Amino acid sequence: MSVSRPDNFTVRSGPTGALVLAGELDVATIEELQDRIDEVLVPGQPIVLDLVDLTFMDSSAMHCLVRTFEATGRPVVLQNASRALRRILGHMTQEPEAWVFDEQRQTPMPM
C-alpha cells in the first residue's frame, strides 16, 4: 500500500490554543491529526478542535475523537463545525459523550 500522504489535510495551532483543521479527515490523514493531538495532550484538559475549514470526516476521525476523550478524560471540544460535519457526527451514535460542540464558537456558514 502506498504511504503517500495527500495535501488535502492540514493542522495548525490557533491563537486560542485550538488545533485548527483544514481539508478532509479519513484513513489517509487521521494519523497526522492523532500525532499532533498526542503531542499537545494533557490529561484532564480538553482538546479543542476548530473545524472551520474541515470539509469531511469518516469513522477513523470518530475513533480519534474517542481515543482523545479517553486519554484526556474530557470531551473533545469542536468549534465551527459545518452542517455537513454535524450531519456526519450525528450518524456516529456509538460514543456521543466523546465530543461536544462549542456553540459560542459557531459562525453561521453555508454548507
Partner 1 sequence: MSMKSVELILPAALTTPAEARAVVEAIGSDLPEPVLIDVKLLMTELVANALKHASRGIQAVIIRITRNHIVRVEVLDPGPMFNPDPRPPGTGTGSGRGLFLVDAVASAWGVEPEEAGKKVWFELRVAAGREGDVSL
Cell matching residue 16: 486560542
Cell matching residue 95: 460514543
Considering only 22, 32, 34, 56, the residue that binds partner 1 (CB under 8 A) is 56
x-or-dash pattern for partner 1, window 67-86, by CB under 8 A?
Answer: ----------------xx--
Q: Which residues in the 9-48 window bind partner 1 by CB under 8 A?
A: 24, 26-28
Counting residues that bind partner 1 (by CB under 8 A) gives 27
Q: How many Cα atoms within 13 Å fall on the side-chain side of residue 93?
A: 1
Quick check: 72 and 44 in contact, CB under 8 A?
yes
Shortest distance in whole angstroms from residue 67 CB to partner 1: 9
Considering only 22, 32, 36, 95, the residue that binds partner 1 (CB under 8 A) is 95
What is the Cα–Cα distance from 5 to 97, expressed in whole angstroms? 31
What is the Cα–Cα distance from 24 to 9, expressed in whole angstroms? 6
Using CB under 8 A as the criterion, which residues of the chain lie in contact with partner 1 when the complex forms? 1-6, 8, 24, 26-28, 56, 58-60, 63, 66, 83-84, 87-88, 91-95, 111
